[in-house]
Structures are given as structure tokens and as C-alpha cells.
Homo-oligomer: A and B are copies of this chain.
Amino acid sequence: MTPESYQLDDTDRRILLALDEDPRVPTMMLAQRLGLARGTVQTRMERLANSGALRPNSSRVKPASVGRGVSAVVSAELDQSHLEEAIAALSLIPEVLECVAPAGDTDLLIRAVAKDPDDLYRVSEEIRLCPGITRTSTSMILRDVIPYRTTALLNHLG
């Protein structure tokens, strides 16, 4: 339905936050809690699911719970003419969770996970060997200071 551009409003955010606190709550009770009609909540949740505003459910999985307790940031420089090839190759590495292109010196910033430091070396090598990638620098993450969240953001807008 809605392509990519759907903007969540206050009601959407309240629903999402309420679901964080009580993920299994039935629509009816949720509606009561928020002071809305059931139909409204139902419509909203349906819309949310189809709006493209949410990442897939599996993105909630903490890598540590599938035995990937080691996390790293890999910055990569690349031969710009082979950008798309590099992206394609990176996509094929399961341990690559995310990759962004920042402004500045670094061409690509890659978030990767591994089983242990030794495994991280392997992953890091796989990344380095991607076509188009000329140089990488891997930093293991020592501490998850603030684990990924959007709660504060959602609350803030309210």
C-alpha cells in the first residue's frame, strides 16, 4: 500500500511503545489502555505492518543469541569503479549485518559479527578480499555502551 514514505504519527508511536512493554497484549486490551477504539488500533497495526516503516522481525535478533558474541566495525576503502561489485560481495557474507557509506575518508563502514576473535579474523579477511575493496581496518567492539534503541526517539516526539 504505502510505499516507503509513511510517517508515523502520535498514535502509531503510542501503540509501538505500548507493545514494547507488553508484547502479547490483545488488540482489545491495547485499545482500552490507549483509550482508542479496537477498530482504530486494528487499522493502525495493519497499516504499520504494510507501511514499510518497520524492519523485518528477525532484525530484532541479538547476534549473541546465535553464537555471534563478537562484534566489530570494519572501515573499508575501495576502488570506486567497483562499488556495486563490492556491495554485492559484501551482501553475501552473512556476518555482515550492515554497511553504510559515510561522507569523509572512509568509503564504507561495515558492521560485522563473529563467533570469537579468531572467527572475526576470518570474517575480516572475507571482507578484505571482496572485489573492489582495497584496504580495511577492523576494530573489535569492546563494549556496547548504548545498545541499539529507538525508544527514546519515539518517546521524544510525543
Copies of this chain, how many?
Answer: 2
Interface residues on A, range: 35 or more
A151→B53 contact, CB < 8 A: no
A139→B87 contact, CB < 8 A: no
A100→B87 contact, CB < 8 A: no
User: Interface residues of A: mostly helix, strand, loop or mixed?
Assistant: mixed
A87→B55 contact, CB < 8 A: no
Q: For the complex, what is the distance from the CA of A104 to the CA of B142, rounded to whole Å? A: 10
Q: Is A7 an interface residue (CB 8 A)?
A: yes
A142→B101 contact, CB < 8 A: yes
Among the listed B23, B67, B100, which residue makes an inter-chain contact with A71, where contact means beta carbons less than 8 Å apart? B100
Among the listed B16, B67, B96, B142, which residue makes an inter-chain contact with A58, where contact means beta carbons less than 8 Å apart? B16
- A-side interface residues toward B, CB under 8 Å? 4, 6-8, 13, 16-17, 19-20, 23-24, 49, 51-68, 71-73, 87, 90-104, 106, 108-109, 111, 113, 139-157
20 A-B interface contacts by CB (under 8 A): A4-B64, A20-B57, A52-B65, A55-B147, A56-B151, A59-B59, A61-B154, A66-B154, A67-B157, A87-B145, A91-B146, A92-B152, A94-B152, A94-B156, A96-B146, A99-B146, A100-B145, A101-B143, A102-B141, A108-B145
